[in-house]
Structure 1
Amino acid sequence: MLFPRERLLEWEAERLAPYAQRSAHTRGREYPEPESPYRTPYQKDRDRILHTTAFRRLEYKTQVFPNWAGDYYRTRLTHTLEVAQVSRSIARALGLNEDLTEAIALSHDLGHPPFGHAGERVLHELMREHGGFEHNAQALRLLTRLEVRYPGFPGLNLTYEVREGVATHEAAYALGSKGDYPGQGTLEAQVVDLSDAIAYAAHDLDDGLRSGLLRPEELLEVPLLQALAQEEGLDLARLSELARRILVREVLGYLITHAILATHERVERAGVKSADGVREHPERLAALTPEAERAHGELKAFLRERLYRHPEVLRERRKAEAVLEGLFQAYTRYPETLPKEVQARIPEEGLERAVCDYLAGMTDRFALEAYRKLFP
């Protein structure tokens, strides 16, 4: 039995919730092109994202711990895959379009520079007088301009809804693209945003414990961890490897369940009946229950104080600052040392933006190697 695109679109019409974004109702692509006979538009988008150079580079970009710190710590790639898994779990429970959800999740961090959020802060400071830097805006640049893989158009020519999902990721995002993508975004995009916060809280806890930077007895300060440990019969003061995995799994399960319950309740209360109704609603509908939101906030505050500000983590941040500042200053002063393809973009983009794009695309180890070559 074959399932051509037309049958897949019918399946969506029959089974998805009324507030889900159906593939048949896409606002389309910037450049017209034929669709796949056996994939929906969002499945085609997902596949294009997976095959980009930017996606592969995520394997060697820092989440919290740099790639060389150990084989088992999350990288920006494994974080992205975990966000996709959490997003699809929530989307399926709510009757949303899983393919659109997955495409947005896989692309949401493509614009992150090397060295995690430290790298983003450094590039923003360096570009302050040249338009700034923000990883969501950079992801949109990659998807619409910088990834050149087709002869007929720049970028990947993704559907409006995937581009919208990247542009509206995180409520604080406000660097220009909101004018092109007004509103709250689809519920699929909002679910990815929420899943991102859920995933990094759980896996940063896991990596912090694995590294030894977080001590098990410190977890007693977090009410959610105390409660979950008590339910599972775990002793937080003496966590074995198996107990740590159980605890992290329970944290994920708790937050995912409360995200599903709260989002469903808010959608029902709002009475939205279409994807446009979600976009036009005055506030975001994807959320945690008040109880889980409070618990999630306490966990994030704990991680911020005990992990992200740990001297070992801060030491790596200082390295990131030195490397990116040094590379930026060297390349803007001596642009002839840039690769030819980067030099070719200077007349159109400007020197600083072309350098910034080049640095943002680097992996951690490529940036370090480039720094060693310039400053032996």
Structure 2
Amino acid sequence: MDQIKKNVWDERRGSNNPRQEEIRSEAQRDLSRLIHSSPFRRLQSKTQVLGLGESDFYRTRLTHSMEVAQIGSGLLAKLKIKYAGKEETQFLPDGDLMQAICLAHDIGHPPFGHGGEVALNYCMQDHGGFEGNGQTLRILSRLDKYTKEHGLDPTRRLLLGVLKYPVNYSKLVVNKASSHDPARRQSWLFKSSDFKPPKCYLDSEINIVDFALKPFTEQDRELFTSIRPSNINTDHKTASYKALDTTIMDLADEISYSLHDLEDAISLGMVTRAMWMDHFSGHENLFVDCHGITFTGTCESVADCLFGESYKRKECIGMLVHLMITSVELQTKNKAFECGMMKYNAVLPEPVEALRLKIFMLVKYKVIKHENVQLLEFKGQKMIVELFSVLASDPHRFLPASTREVYERQVSFGEQEGMRVICDYVSGMTDDYATKLYEKILVPRKGSIFDRL
């Protein structure tokens, strides 16, 4: 593989002592560890888009991650067929590894969706910030309890696969004036967009990323970690590249939240047939442009299925997923890369991507940006800021015993390390746990030492 031995991708940072008569590959061990990890299980109680408690029908972070893994496996299978016998095939990942990358992609997301992410970034502005994808890397490599020091101790290639943005926080963040306003720093009332974090990994994981990128040449590492400047001065800078495995996972994620979140929205009545037809008015050609062996739908025929009986809706969503899976192809991102794991990216052809994006924009404007969804997100944001503020005001008093021990060890290295422990604790909460803890601490009522969360 471009002068890089394949077994270097199976290396772990820890001792990596397989059990006697171990029958699993390293990728299968990664997948097993992930499925049995507590951060993965907690995804069942974390918001996807629609708030938990609305119904047991709508998707959570856990069911979303399972769907991403299924789509990611389909994309990988199609790529292996499409590029059989060609150079690109040697760079495609193992199927079990692809499952693990997809299942792991959201474990770093905090309670209450992106509202929780913004809230924690706000709270950590002076202590290294917070970003959900960066927290995923941190959980995998440091925090989970599978090993003493290395978290799940994932293989190098799993680390590379979940590294969606290979540049650290401090190199990408653009500080805004409001973040330095002392009066506002004491309040949970702030403009969410002012504290949206850059897409990055956290500075605390620089050595983890160095380990993941070690097999690549210096030229590839330098190019891969380069920054694409923003066109607007107030926007954060962005990373320029993603590895091949990451782009397959990322594409599966985009397909899932575009189509499956649409399915939930239609079931809830937040997207109607009239909205669909109005949204695609003048853009009916998007469907015609995608016509081929597996897809012959039109704007109206798709609407008939989506807004008809439930089994027809399911069939239609499946048809659109199938269109996108079978259309996937590899694109050379930059010929300057020496290794194909960085040179090639999985993409959708332009007409199919245009249709996917148009569908997603309908979900974005009618669901994600809906005032009721935003109000729920804001409530979660407020709870996280207030919880964090209480815990940070007197960690020795309010943190649970096990977390307090970690805090006392880490704060000896500096305030930032101590605040990171509090951030890890809050970000690992489920929506329900965070709500109950908030009520226990901040809602006036008679309490008891025997109250349980």
Sort the TM-score into its range (normalised by shorter chain): 0.7 to 0.9
Matched, 1:129 2:129: no
Q: Deviations along 1:124-182, whole A, 9 cap, x unmatched?
A: 1121111111111111111111112335x431111111011112369943544576244
Q: Is the 8 A contact 2:131 2:201 kept in 1?
A: no
Where structure 2 has 5 or more consecutive residues not aligned to the other structure, the ranges are 81-91, 168-198, 214-220, 225-240, 289-296, 412-416, 444-453
Q: What are the within-5 Å matches in structure 2 for residues 35-184 of structure 1?
A: 35=18, 37-95=22-80, 96=92, 97-151=94-148, 153-168=149-164, 172-173=199-200, 175-176=202-203, 180=210, 181=213, 182=221, 183=224, 184=241
Shift of 1:229: 5.2
SS at match of 1:243: helix
Q: Is the 8 A contact 2:324 2:348 kept in 1?
A: yes
Q: Deviations along 1:257-306, whole A, 9 cap, x unmatched?
A: 22x2x32xx36x9899xx9722342xx52111011122222222222111
SS at match of 2:59: coil
Structure 1: distance between partners of 2:160 and 2:38:
21
Shift of 1:239: 2.8
Q: Is the 8 A contact 1:88 1:98 kept in 2?
A: yes
Which of 355, 360, 363 is residue 303 of structure 1 equivalent to? Answer: 363
SS at match of 2:145: coil
Structure 2: distance between partners of 1:368 and 1:188:
36
Q: What are the within-5 Å matches in structure 2 for residues 1-376 of structure 1?
A: 24-26=7-9, 28-35=11-18, 37-95=22-80, 96=92, 97-151=94-148, 153-168=149-164, 172-173=199-200, 175-176=202-203, 180=210, 181=213, 182=221, 183=224, 184=241, 186-220=243-277, 221-222=279-280, 223=283, 228=297, 235=304, 238-258=307-327, 260=328, 262-263=329-330, 266=331, 277-281=339-343, 285-335=345-395, 336-347=397-408, 348=410, 350-376=417-443
Bigger mean CA offset, 183-192 vs 136-145: 183-192
SS at match of 2:102: helix
SS at match of 1:195: helix
Distance 1:323 1:279, change over 3 A: same
Letter aligned with residue 41 of structure 2: R
SS at match of 2:347: coil
Structure 2: distance between partners of 1:47 and 1:128:
35
SS at match of 2:69: helix
Bigger mean CA offset, 42-51 vs 301-310: 301-310
Letter aligned with residue 286 of structure 1: A
Q: Is the 8 A contact 2:276 2:303 kept in 1?
A: no
Shift of 1:217: 1.7
Q: Is the 8 A contact 2:142 2:150 kept in 1?
A: yes
Distance 1:38 1:255, change over 3 A: same
Letter aligned with residue 194 of structure 1: L
Letter aligned with residue 356 of structure 1: C
Query: Normalising to structure 1: TM-score of the pair?
Result: 0.84
Structure 1: distance between partners of 2:394 and 2:334:
56
Structure 2: distance between partners of 1:279 and 1:290:
22
Identity level (%): 30
Larger radius of gyration: 2
Structure 2: distance between partners of 1:57 and 1:188:
25
Structure 1: distance between partners of 2:318 and 2:104:
25
Structure 1: distance between partners of 2:250 and 2:30:
18
Structure 2: distance between partners of 1:170 and 1:205:
30
SS at match of 1:366: helix
Provide the aligned length of Structure 1 versus Structure 2: 348
Structure 1: distance between partners of 2:64 and 2:165:
16
Bigger mean CA offset, 353-362 vs 171-180: 171-180
Structure 1: distance between partners of 2:166 and 2:269:
30
Letter aligned with residue 329 of structure 1: S
CA RMSD of aligned residues (A): 2.8
Distance 1:79 1:22, change over 3 A: farther
Greater helix share, structure number: 1
Q: Is the 8 A contact 1:217 1:237 kept in 2?
A: no
Q: Is the 8 A contact 1:104 1:165 kept in 2?
A: yes
Distance 1:233 1:147, change over 3 A: closer
SS at match of 1:285: strand
Query: Normalising to structure 2: TM-score of the pair?
Result: 0.70
Where structure 1 has 5 or more consecutive residues not aligned to the other structure, the ranges are 1-17
Q: Is the 8 A contact 1:229 1:235 kept in 2?
A: no
Shift of 1:334: 2.8
Bigger mean CA offset, 351-360 vs 227-236: 227-236
Distance 1:226 1:218, change over 3 A: farther
Q: Is the 8 A contact 1:23 1:41 kept in 2?
A: no
Letter aligned with residue 211 of structure 1: L
Q: Is the 8 A contact 1:29 1:157 kept in 2?
A: yes
Distance 1:302 1:233, change over 3 A: closer
Structure 2: distance between partners of 1:29 and 1:301:
40
Structure 2: distance between partners of 1:320 and 1:207:
21
Structure 2: distance between partners of 1:188 and 1:22:
17
Q: Deviations along 1:180-207, whole A, 9 cap, x unmatched?
A: 2443554222201111111111111011
Structure 1: distance between partners of 2:14 and 2:128:
27
Distance 1:304 1:294, change over 3 A: same
SS at match of 1:83: helix
Letter aligned with residue 65 of structure 1: L
Distance 1:143 1:217, change over 3 A: same
